[in-house]
Structures are given as structure tokens and as C-alpha cells.
Amino acid sequence: MYKDKIEEIKNELKDLFNNINDKQTLENKKVEYMGKNGKITLLNGQIREVPNEEKKEFGMAVNEIRNMFNDGYTKTLEKIETKEINEKLNSEAIDVTLPGTKLPVGSAHPIERIIETLESLLMSMGYDVVEGPEVEKDLYNFELLNLPKGHPARDAQDTFYIKGEEYLLRSQTSPVQVREMLKHEGKDPIRIICPGKTYRRDEDDATHSHQFTQMEGLLVDKNITLGDLKGTFEAVAKKLFGESRETRFRPSYYPFTEPSVEMDISCFNCNGKGCNICKGTGWITVGGAGMVNPIVLKNCGYDPNKWNGFAFGFGIERLAMLKYGINDIRMFYVNHDIKTLEQFDRREY
Ligand code: DAH
């Protein structure tokens, strides 16, 4: 009797696993055959009813069936798991034709762009970039630059004083000239530029700010002429505003240069014909300059009988306003919509 049962289960097992494709069905089969009331478990329990001399044979037969089941079960489980992994791999495959994630590239602030442009040009002409402190001595900001106390030209550069009258927020980058000359003790030629923040006690409006940016230049050597200054300025003007710019000097006054000039470029908007940007004159003033005053050379330890040179100063905001058509200086210091900033792409100067 039990032999028939054994045969029956054996036959079932032959095809049992063929069509099983998921874990749930497989588990159900395990319960059906090997669970507490499973067919094989129950069959095993029947051993008590088997005559003694047949018990061994019976046991072997049940074992065979159990092995058959376990074998099929393991193989089927492996098959299902392989299939699942393959399906997952296929569904998660990377599509290389999809557009990539774009990493936003920051853009340089217009002030920074002007500074970098001037630095790269002037460095190629042999200038070193130096820095000076923003909290400066009155001595360097004014006194040694031939602006003694009570000098009327100080009025235009009223600034913020710190601890009495000895220290102030520098009103110009010109004190860096003094520092450089003192450092070299009247011995070496000098070629430096100094970009940096400057301060004045100004009411803020479209063209004034209590904090702004300048770039100072100083060249000290022998037999330097105004022509050298003109050539240098011309290179700067063309670099910033295009090859067709023309330049001119107008007489001016600064205590630290003699003679002093205003540096003008032909208007890039109307090419000199006259428009609202150049206020009808055809020319735009972009900085001050001159031959270093012998008094300043002497103050700073250079013998004016041996050495001479030129100095210049640019207002960086002014250059940026002209170059990028920005009409309010306050725009440089406030936060902007990203679209505004994106116009100043770092890759394209
Ligand atoms: N420091 C001057 C200013 O703030 C600008 C300037 C003019 C600088 C002439 C110079 C110079 O070095 O030679 O108005």
C-alpha cells in the first residue's frame, strides 16, 4: 500500500518544479510536501505501520523522495533568484543617451573680471601684484604722498578715522606706492599694481559708494617719460575696451604726481562722435595718473635726481560700469537674481 503512495509521490515530484517561477509558489510546495502535514512528512510517519523487515527499505525510499524534493527545491530557488537579479539589472541599466546632470559653474563678479583682466595684462608687462592694508596710516595715505594736514585736496577724500587721527580706512590705493618705495629703500626699480578696497565718507548714490575698488600702478626706474605712461595706458584701454580705442591725456592735478593727467578713452559707444554715455564730448575719463612727484620720491627714500617714474589709478567700478553698461554703482554690492549673474560667464571674458 505505502509502495503505491511512494510511487505516486515520486511521479508528482518528477514534474513538480518544472513550471514554478516564483518564490511564493515554491514555498507553498514546500509546505505541501515537507510541512508539518506535508505529504512526505506524513509518509514518513507511516513507518510505524510498516512490517519490521520492510522498514529499512521504506526508510530508504522515503529518504530518496525527500532528497528528490530538496534537490528540486534548491535548484528551482537558484533559478528564480538568478531570474530576479537579471530582471533587476535590466530594469536599472544606465541609459548613456540621457542628458547628464549639469554642474553649475559660478561666474566671476564684474569687479573681479576687470581686476583679473588688468592683472593679466600688466603682469605680462612685468608688473607684480601687491596688496596693502585697508586700515592705513594717515602718514602713508596722505602725508608722504604730499598731502600734509590741512591740504585742500584732502577734502575730496574725507574718510573714516580709527582711534584718533593716526589711522584711517584708506581713501585710495596710493599708499601702497609709499609702502613699496620704503620697502625697497631707494635701491631697486619698481613695477607694481595693487587692486583693493578703498573707503570714503561719501553718501551712496548711483555713482558714489562709501566703499569702492581701485587699482593703483607704480613704476619707478630711470629716464621714464610721460610717453611710457601713455603707451601703458593705451595697452590697458585697448585690452578693456577694444583695439579701436584712442587715448588722450588731459592736464590735471594730484599732489603726488607732477605733471598730473586725466586718462581719457574715445567713447566706445559712439566712437567719438558724441552720445549720452560720453555726455556729448566723444571722450570718457577712466582714471588719473602722472609722473611721480619728486617730493614723493624723496619722502619715500628715492633720490629724485637718479630715479623717476609714473603712477596711475583706476576706479574699478567705473571701468566695470562702462564696460558692462551698468548704470548704478550700488548694483555691484547687492545680491542678484541668478539670471543676472549668469550673464557674466566665467569662461568668456
Ligand atoms: N589716488 C587717486 C584718487 O583716488 C587716483 C590716482 C591719480 C592715483 C593719479 C595715482 C595717480 O597713482 O598718479 O583719486
Place of cell 619698481: 190
Q: What is the mean pLDDT of the chain?
A: 93
Does one domain contain both 179 and 235? yes
Does one domain contain both 153 and 192? yes
Does any domain span residue 263? Answer: yes
Q: By CB neighbour count within 10 A (0-12 exposed, 13-18 middle, 19+ buried), where does 44 fall?
A: middle
Place of cell 609714473: 310
Q: Mark 313-345 as b/e (b = at least 16 C-beta within 10 Å).
A: bbbbbbbbbbbeeeeebebbeeeeeeeeeeebe
Pocket probe mutation, ligand 1, options 197, 254, 295, 297, max atoms within 8 Å of Cβ:
254
Residue 71 C-alpha to ligand 1 middle, in angstroms?
94
Residue range 53-64: average pLDDT? 92
Does one domain contain both 9 and 127? no
Closest CA to ligand 1's atom 4: 172
Residues with C-beta less than 6 Å from any ligand 1 atom: 172, 174, 216, 254, 257, 288-290, 311-313
**Furthest-apart CA pair in the chain: how many Å?**
134
Last residue of a domain, one of 91, 119, 154: 91
Residue 262 C-alpha to ligand 1 middle, in angstroms?
9
Does any domain span residue 221? Answer: yes
Does any domain span residue 100? Answer: no
133: domain range?
A: 110-344
What would the grid cell of residue 199 be? 573707503
Give the residue, 289 or 268, on which the prediction is more confident: 289
Does any domain span residue 179? Answer: yes
Number of folded domains that form the chain: 2
Which ligand 1 atom minimizes the distance to the CA of 313?
A: 8
Does any domain span residue 105? Answer: no
Element (H, E) at 323: helix 316-324
Does one domain contain both 185 and 132? yes
3-class SS at 116? Answer: helix
- DSSP strand pairing (190-199 vs 128-129): parallel
Contact 70, 38 (CB under 8 A): no
pLDDT tens per residue, range 298-349: 999 999 999 999 999 999 999 999 999 888 999 999 887 777 777 776 555 4
pLDDT tens per residue, range 180-237: 999 999 999 999 999 999 999 988 888 889 999 999 999 999 999 999 999 999 999 9
Does one domain contain both 70 and 135? no
What was the pLDDT predicted at 345?
A: 67
Does one domain contain both 172 and 252? yes
Pocket probe mutation, ligand 1, options 226, 286, 312, max atoms within 8 Å of Cβ:
312
Last residue of a domain, one of 91, 118, 148: 91
Is residue 130 scored above 60 in pLDDT?
yes
Does one domain contain both 62 and 126? no
Does one domain contain both 6 and 128? no
Measured CA angle at 92 (ends 91, 94), to 5 deg = 120
Does any domain span residue 80? Answer: yes
Identity of the residue numbered 265: I
Rounded Cα distance between 131 and 123, Å, is 14
pTM: 0.71
Residue 288 C-alpha to ligand 1 middle, in angstroms?
5
Does any domain span residue 45? Answer: yes
Residue 269 C-alpha to ligand 1 middle, in angstroms?
26
What was the pLDDT predicted at 248?
A: 96
Residue range 94-120: average pLDDT? 87
**CATH at residue 182:** 3.30.930.10
Residue 257 C-alpha to ligand 1 middle, in angstroms?
9
Report CA Rg, the chain: 44
Closest CA to ligand 1's atom 5: 313
Last residue of a domain, one of 46, 64, 91: 91
Q: 307 — phi, psi (to 5°)?
A: -110, 150
Residue 254 C-alpha to ligand 1 middle, in angstroms?
7
Please state, for a pLDDT cut of 70, what percent of the chain lies above it: 98
Does one domain contain both 143 and 6? no
Does one domain contain both 244 and 326? yes
Rounded Cα distance between 45 and 128, Å, is 99
3-class SS at 25? Answer: helix
Does one domain contain both 57 and 117? no
Pocket probe mutation, ligand 1, options 144, 168, 172, max atoms within 8 Å of Cβ:
172
What was the pLDDT predicted at 347?
A: 54
Rounded Cα distance between 260 and 292, Å, is 9
Which ligand 1 atom minimizes the distance to the CA of 257?
A: 13
Does any domain span residue 104? Answer: no
Residue 312 C-alpha to ligand 1 middle, in angstroms?
6
Instruction: Look at residues 175, 168, 101 and name the one whose alpha carbon lies nearest to residue 145.
Output: 175
Length of the chain equals: 349
Q: By CB neighbour count within 10 A (0-12 exposed, 13-18 middle, 19+ buried), where does 213 fall?
A: buried
Element (H, E) at 136: strand 135-137
Does one domain contain both 315 and 193? yes
